[in-house]
């Protein structure tokens, strides 16, 4: 399929259309040899609530973003190299069906399709692209993945101390190491995890101790003396979550409240041939 579509006018037009939908907020996507293989709407489990996201599968990257006007305007573009992706099929829940996890070294998250068939198609195409890339580059599959964030509504109390109740005044935070929902007292530390960010990130107290012990062990093995990591200073911003949840809720042009995303008449995904 890739060889058939590469360097064709229709492929160039498809990629240009995607770039146009993201506008100036998106990165250029056209590269020699890059092919757009398919696209579709999947439900992404965000920290506040599940939300529809547009996904584009290329032969080397996976691109997704927020929907402003379907097939006309998207924003919050995210680009994931497929070499870094590992997939994990997940069981259904009462709220979400046909789920699977997209795991990478920097970010992991759960998505769901409108039907079991669509999930199989997405996973099949993704796995084929990943296998081809790893064979081409000689790289090994990624074995270290970022923890997915537990959704805010999954718990009303801190998942570490188990007694602090969240409210309008008591905010939820997320540990960047384990993904747990924790209170401020249980996540007062920051730790530098270069794989995730060039800046120190909020971590829960348990993960902080574990990371500090690992750092000390590595330093001793290298014959170096490690310095303690400073705790978070006052005013450290709480976790803002992912995909700009706040701005999404404020968009007037988003999906109407009565839109039925799980309807058998809607073709959610299409793969090119």
Q: How confident is the model at residue 89 (pLDDT cuts 50, 70, 90)?
A: very high
Residue 151, SS3 per DSSP: coil
Closest CA to 98 of 74, 118, 121: 118
pLDDT exceeds 50 at position 261: no
Decide if 238 contacts 174 (C-beta within 8 A).
no
**Which pLDDT value is given to residue 269?**
58
Rg over alpha carbons for the chain, rounded to the nearest Å, is: 21
Domains and CATH numbers, the chain: 3-143 (2.30.29.30), 149-220 (3.30.40.10)
- Please check whether residue 89 is in contact with residue 103, taking contact to mean a CB–CB distance below 8 angstroms: no
Provide the pLDDT for residue 56: 97
**pLDDT value of residue 85:** 95
Question: Is the whole-model pTM more than 0.85?
Answer: no
Q: Is 218 helix (H, G, I), strand (E, B) or coil?
A: helix
Q: How far apart are the first and last CA of the chain?
A: 6
39-80 pLDDT per residue, tens: 999 999 998 889 999 999 999 999 999 999 988 999 999 999
| Nearest-angstrom CA–CA distance, 17 and 23 | 10
Over range 257-263, report the average pLDDT. Answer: 36
């Amino acid at each position: 399929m890739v060889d058939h579509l590469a360097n064709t006018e229709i492929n160039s037009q498809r990629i240009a259309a995607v770039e146009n939908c993201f506008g100036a907020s998106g990165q250029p996507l056209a590269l020699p040899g890059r092919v757009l293989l398919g696209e579709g709407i999947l439900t992404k489990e965000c920290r506040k609530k599940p939300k529809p996201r547009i996904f584009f599968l290329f032969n080397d990257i996976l691109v997704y973003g927020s929907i402003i006007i379907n097939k006309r305007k998207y924003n919050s573009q995210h680009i994931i190299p497929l070499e870094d992706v590992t997939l994990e099929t997940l069981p259904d829940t009462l709220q979400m069906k046909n789920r699977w996890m997209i795991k990478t070294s920097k970010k992991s998250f759960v998505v769901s399709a409108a039907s079991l068939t669509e999930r199989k198609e997405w996973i099949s195409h993704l796995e084929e692209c990943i296998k081809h890339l790893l064979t081409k580059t000689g790289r090994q599959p990624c074995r270290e993945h970022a923890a997915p964030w537990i959704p805010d509504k999954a718990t009303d109390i801190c998942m570490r101390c188990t007694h602090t109740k969240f409210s309008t005044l008591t905010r939820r935070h997320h540990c960047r190491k384990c993904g747990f929902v924790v209170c401020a007292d249980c996540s007062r530390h920051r730790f530098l995890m270069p794989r995730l960010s060039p800046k120190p990130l909020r971590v829960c107290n348990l993960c902080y101790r574990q990371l500090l012990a690992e750092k000390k062990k590595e330093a001793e093995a290298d014959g170096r003396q490690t310095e303690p990591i400073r705790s978070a200073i006052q005013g450290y911003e709480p976790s803002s979550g992912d995909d700009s949840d706040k701005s999404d809720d404020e968009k007037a042009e988003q999906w109407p409240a009565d839109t039925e995303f799980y309807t058998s008449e809607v073709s959610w995904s299409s793969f090119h041939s």
